[in-house]
């Protein structure tokens, strides 16, 4: 029961008035950023990174916990009320959530989402508390070849399996990997692709890329849409913000199922909560179809409960993977990794030994943050929605200013602002021509890890390439990957031939 | 409203394939990686595989993807039609000015309005986009010489304007309010360094 004692000490560390204040401030700021359309949890952490610079490490990470989960809670608010999910991870929950809102049950949809996020997050945090140390000791089984297999798995999964068009996914991934190799490489110390600019020696910061890609990209996207009729109106919330006993009973199994689906995805690097939320949505939909009067399409409470719970469950265990393995499985985790490094800490198996006080304080603040957010969100979600009434041009002008501030304040380099602007333009072009953004982020995040482990593995084996498929772990990973690719390919071919058939039928008729 | 204008074949061909800019970017990335790898100074201590192998794999992969994507884009162009708003319907928040004939970019094309079933090519408001981009470029250039307070206020003002705000004078005050609040909270409050610029003397007594 070491974990419990440690967690108890973590609670003692953070239950000071000052640290509690940071949790609450973080939760408020995180939710505020999360509510804004197009900006999610990752952006909340990236934009608010400079805010934490003047705090001591524990205060900063406690605040991060609030920001992180605040962003996740906030995501779904705009999705439900405006049908513009704050983040790709909130899309699945918004489908039925928005329908609930349209049929006058906006307040209940928000409550379902908030409670779901709470349940998923709490269960995930409990698991992380008990299993993160075990996971950390398991990490010793992972050598260079295994880590490389994990990274490759993530690359292919996010770009070819999850994306609608594998070609466009791979194109995005390629750009991300190219960004990742800029700078002095860690093994031999060669300076690469800096074009003689000394400032580029440190590489291109993940914060610069994420803020450019998501925040400025969104601003450019909104600008390009100016003058278009948009049918996104904020739905008014009326009535009780809590759930009746029946509604609660209806949603409870979906919350738990969603959590179960979401938990494993925090450890598998497939780019965050997108996949589990959609899996959970699909599962609830199929289960619903078997009921006497199916609710899906009319605003099913389970369609909100499942995805919301699974999204937060994934985010919770992703923190476990980050702390115990040093493996960032989502953009949010990658930015937190950057934050850890800023304080001279390297997440991974050794973190629990080197900075136990900080780790356990962080874990304890997950729980505190979650409770604070539930209190903030259950009664006040409609108030957050008021933020969406600020005219769009002011919202995005404000986002621009904070993006510029965030990037400049982290490094004080004008060059970073230039790179961010270029990345923002790139993001705009990618969105315009249907390239997914997630593979690019994963490429930037895991690119350095993939290369380092690739070279280490080959150096140890003295150039023998069979080292990559010589352990049960790597063989399993590659087999699962091959199976997933085959499954997706077969599904696509079938769908295409079906479309072709129906088209030829239409033509002949 | 259906307006038909004859389009020059060559420009029409390209109009539906502007997506080719993506393969062009990919080729540029690949070429940059190849040149960088060729000119790289590799420390003699580097154990094989050296620092060149991984970037070269990426460069080749990028090139392959670029070619495949270009073929896909040439064979499957975007729909021919774009939506044009009928007349002067003001858009966001009902406060936007009339969009000055969206075809102002000078492209010959067929425009339709109202038919839901026709696949449409997305249309971008180039003027607003350039407005936002230009504002950010000016901000970057002005940050060091003029300081945070002035350039951030301008950034807010410019982006709001590009995105359709019609109250330029009011926005100046909002912009200065925001940048001053940030200066106070982050520079005076949290101790971050924001460039003071020409207001150095004025700001020094605040901190």
Distance (Å) of CA A322 to CA A45, A347, B8, B30: 15, 6, 56, 32
Which residues is B120 bridged to in the sheet? B81
Q: How confident is the model at residue B99 (pLDDT cuts 50, 70, 90)?
A: very low
Mean pLDDT of A409-416: 88
Provide CB contacts within 8 A for B77, sequence distance 6+.
Answer: B13, B16, B17
Distance (Å) of CA A43 to CA A1, A243, A388: 36, 31, 17
pLDDT in the model for residue A238? 65
Q: Measure CB to CB from residue B26 to each of A174, A190, A459 and give the nearest one.
A: A174
User: What value does the mean pLDDT of chain A take?
Assistant: 86
A228 touches chain B (CB under 8 A): yes
pLDDT, tens digit (0-9, with 9 covering 90-100), for A202-215? 899 888 998 899 88
Highest mean pLDDT among A177-191, A243-257, A320-334, B20-34: B20-34
Residues 134-173 of A with CB under 8 A from B: 167-168, 170-171
pLDDT in the model for residue A241? 66
Give a three-class secondary structure readout of A32-47.
Answer: HHHHCCCCCHHHHHHH
Q: In angstroms, rounded to a whole number, what is the distance separating the alpha carbons of residues B187 and A460? A: 49
Nearest to A86 by CA among A77, A99, A95, A97: A77
Distance from CA of A55 to the nearest CA of B (A): 8
Nearest to A484 by CA among A496, A472, A494, A492: A492
Cβ contact, residue pair A227, B51, below 8 Å: no
Cβ contact, residue pair B48, A459, below 8 Å: yes
Cβ contact, residue pair B58, A181, below 8 Å: yes
Angle, alpha carbons A267-A154-A163 (nearest 5°): 115
Q: Measure CB to CB from residue A174 to each of B65, B125, B178 and give the nearest one.
A: B65
Cβ contact, residue pair B46, A174, below 8 Å: no
Cβ contact, residue pair A429, B25, below 8 Å: yes
Cβ contact, residue pair A181, B33, below 8 Å: yes
Which residues from chain A sit within 8 angstroms of residue B58, using beta carbons?
Answer: 174, 177-178, 181
pLDDT in the model for residue A230? 58
pLDDT in the model for residue B173? 95
pLDDT in the model for residue A150? 86
pLDDT, tens digit (0-9, with 9 covering 90-100), for B143-192? 999 999 999 999 999 999 999 888 999 999 999 999 999 888 877 777 77
Least confident of A268-272, A403-407, A417-421, A438-442: A268-272
Q: What is the ipTM of this complex?
A: 0.85
Q: How confident is the model at residue B86 (pLDDT cuts 50, 70, 90)?
A: very low
Q: In angstroms, rounded to a whole number, what is the distance separating the alpha carbons of residues A193 and A197? A: 9
B28 touches chain A (CB under 8 A): no
Closest residue of chain B to A416, computed from CA coordinates: B140
DSSP string, A199-265: GGGG---HHHHHIIIIIIHHHHHHHHTTTS-----PPPP-S-SS--HHHHHHHHHHHHHHHHHHGGG
Q: Measure CB to CB from residue B96 to each of A178, A226, A398 and give the nearest one.
A: A226
Q: How confident is the model at residue A232 (pLDDT cuts 50, 70, 90)?
A: low
Residue A503 vs residue A60, higher pLDDT? A60
* pLDDT at B137 > cutoff 90: yes
Distance from CA of B165 to the nearest CA of A (A): 6
Mean pLDDT of A330-357: 84
Q: In angstroms, rounded to a whole number, what is the distance separating the alpha carbons of residues A360 and A197? A: 41
A253 touches chain B (CB under 8 A): no
Distance from CA of A326 to the nearest CA of B (A): 22
A11 touches chain B (CB under 8 A): no
Which residues from chain B sit within 8 angstroms of residue A432, using beta carbons?
Answer: 19, 122, 124
C-alpha A62: how far from its chain's center? 19
pLDDT in the model for residue A41? 81
Which residues from chain B sit within 8 angstroms of residue A400, using beta carbons?
Answer: 132, 135-136, 155-156, 159
Cβ contact, residue pair A401, B91, below 8 Å: no
pLDDT, tens digit (0-9, with 9 covering 90-100), for B17-67? 888 999 999 999 999 999 999 988 888 877 778 899 999 999 999 999 999
* pLDDT at A431 > cutoff 60: yes
Residues 17-76 of A with CB under 8 A from B: 50-51, 53-54
Cβ contact, residue pair A174, B129, below 8 Å: no
Question: For chain A, what percent of residues have pLDDT higher than 90?
Answer: 25
Interface contacts A/B by beta carbons within 8 Å: 229
Q: How confident is the model at residue B92 (pLDDT cuts 50, 70, 90)?
A: very low
Mean pLDDT of A306-331: 88
Residue A95 vs residue A230, higher pLDDT? A95
Provide CB contacts within 8 A for A264, sequence distance 6+.
Answer: A317
Mean pLDDT of A16-43: 86
Q: Measure CB to CB from residue A50 to each of B37, B68, B192 and give the nearest one.
A: B192
Residue A39 vs residue B35, higher pLDDT? B35
User: Where are chain A's structural domains?
Assistant: 2-470
B42 touches chain A (CB under 8 A): yes
Closest residue of chain A to B66, computed from CA coordinates: A171
Question: For chain A, what percent of residues have pLDDT higher than 70?
Answer: 95
Mean pLDDT of A91-101: 87
Cβ contact, residue pair B163, A223, below 8 Å: yes
* pLDDT at A310 > cutoff 90: yes
Which residues from chain A sit within 8 angstroms of residue B42, using beta carbons?
Answer: 188, 190
A461 touches chain B (CB under 8 A): no
Question: A271 with A305: CB under 8 angstroms?
Answer: no
Closest residue of chain A to B71, computed from CA coordinates: A167
Supply A185's token pair: 């490489």
Least confident of A76-90, A108-122, A346-360: A76-90
Residues 102-131 of B with CB under 8 A from A: 102, 122-126, 128-129, 131
Residue B206 vs residue A444, higher pLDDT? A444
DSSP string, B7-70: --HHHHHHHTTGGGHHHHHHHHHHHHHHHHHHH----TTPPSS-TTHHHHHHHHHHHHHHHHHH
A428 touches chain B (CB under 8 A): yes
């Amino acid at each position: 029961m070491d974990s419990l004692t440690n967690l108890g000490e973590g609670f003692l560390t953070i239950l000071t008035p000052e640290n509690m204040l940071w949790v609450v401030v973080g939760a408020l700021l995180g939710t505020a950023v999360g509510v804004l359309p197009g900006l999610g949890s990752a952006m909340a952490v990236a934009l608010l990174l400079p805010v934490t610079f003047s705090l001591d490490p524990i205060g900063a990470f406690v605040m991060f916990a609030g920001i992180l989960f605040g962003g996740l809670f906030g995501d779904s608010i705009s999705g439900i009320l405006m049908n513009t999910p704050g983040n790709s991870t909130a899309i699945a929950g918004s489908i039925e959530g928005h329908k609930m809102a349209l049929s006058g049950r906006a307040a209940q949809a928000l409550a379902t989402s908030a409670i779901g996020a709470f349940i998923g997050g709490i269960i995930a945090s409990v698991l992380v508390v008990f299993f993160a140390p075990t996971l950390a000791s398991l990490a010793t089984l992972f050598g260079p070849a295994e880590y490389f297999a994990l990274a490759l798995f993530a690359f292919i999964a996010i770009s070819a399996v999850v994306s609608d068009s594998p070609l466009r996914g791979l194109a995005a991934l390629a750009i991300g990997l190219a960004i990742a190799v800029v700078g002095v490489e860690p093994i031999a110390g060669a300076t690469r692709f800096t074009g003689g600019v000394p400032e580029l020696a440190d590489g291109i910061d993940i914060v610069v890329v994420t803020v450019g890609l998501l925040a400025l990209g969104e601003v450019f996207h909104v600008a390009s849409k100016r003058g278009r009729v948009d049918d996104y109106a904020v739905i008014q919330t009326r009535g009780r913000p809590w759930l009746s006993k029946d509604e609660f009973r209806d949603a409870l199994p979906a919350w738990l199922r969603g959590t179960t689906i979401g938990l494993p995805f925090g450890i598998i690097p497939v780019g965050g909560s997108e996949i589990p939320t959609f899996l959970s949505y699909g599962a609830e939909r199929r289960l619903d179809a078997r009921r006497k009067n199916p609710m899906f399409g009319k605003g099913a409470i389970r369609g909100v409960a499942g995805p919301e719970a699974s999204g937060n469950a994934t985010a919770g265990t992703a923190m476990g993977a980050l702390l115990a393995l040093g493996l960032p499985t989502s953009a949010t985790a990658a930015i937190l990794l950057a934050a850890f490094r800023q304080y001279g800490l390297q997440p991974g198996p050794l973190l629990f030994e080197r900075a136990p006080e900080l780790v356990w304080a962080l874990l304890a603040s997950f729980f505190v943050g979650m409770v604070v957010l539930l209190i903030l969100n259950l009664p006040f979600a409609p108030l957050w929605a008021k933020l969406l009434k600020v005219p769009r041009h002011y919202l995005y002008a404000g986002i621009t200013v904070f993006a510029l501030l965030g990037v400049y304040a982290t490094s004080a380099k004008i060059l970073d602002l230039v790179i961010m602007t270029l990345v923002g333009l790139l993001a705009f072009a990618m969105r315009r021509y249907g390239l997914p953004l997630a593979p690019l982020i994963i490429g930037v995040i895991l690119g350095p890890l993939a290369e380092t482990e690739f070279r280490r593995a080959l150096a140890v084996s003295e150039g023998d390439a069979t080292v990559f498929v010589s352990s049960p772990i790597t063989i399993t990973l590659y087999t699962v990957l091959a199976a997933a690719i085959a499954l997706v390919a077969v599904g696509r071919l079938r769908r295409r031939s079906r479309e072709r058939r129906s088209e030829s039928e239409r033509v002949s008729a | 409203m259906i307006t038909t204008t004859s389009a020059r074949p060559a420009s029409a061909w390209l109009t539906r394939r502007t997506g080719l800019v993506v393969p062009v970017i990919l080729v540029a990335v690949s070429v940059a990686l190849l040149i960088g790898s060729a000119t790289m100074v590799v420390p003699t201590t580097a154990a094989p595989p050296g620092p060149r192998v991984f970037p070269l794999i990426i460069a080749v992969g990028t090139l392959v993807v670029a070619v495949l994507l270009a073929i896909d884009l040439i064979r499957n162009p975007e729909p021919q039609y774009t939506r044009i708003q009928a007349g002067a319907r003001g858009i966001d928040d009902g406060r936007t000015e009339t969009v000055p004939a969206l075809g102002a970019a000078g492209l010959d094309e067929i425009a339709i309005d109202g038919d839901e079933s026709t696949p449409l090519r997305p249309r971008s408001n180039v003027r607003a986009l350039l407005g936002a981009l230009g504002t950010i470029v000016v901000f970057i250039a002005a940050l060091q010489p003029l300081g945070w307070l002035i350039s951030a206020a301008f950034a807010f003002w410019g982006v709001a304007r590009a995105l359709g705000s019609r109250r330029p004078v009011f926005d100046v005050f909002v912009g200065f309010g925001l940048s001053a609040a940030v200066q106070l909270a982050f520079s005076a409050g949290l101790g971050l360094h924001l460039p003071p610029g020409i207001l150095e003397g004025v700001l020094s007594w605040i901190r």
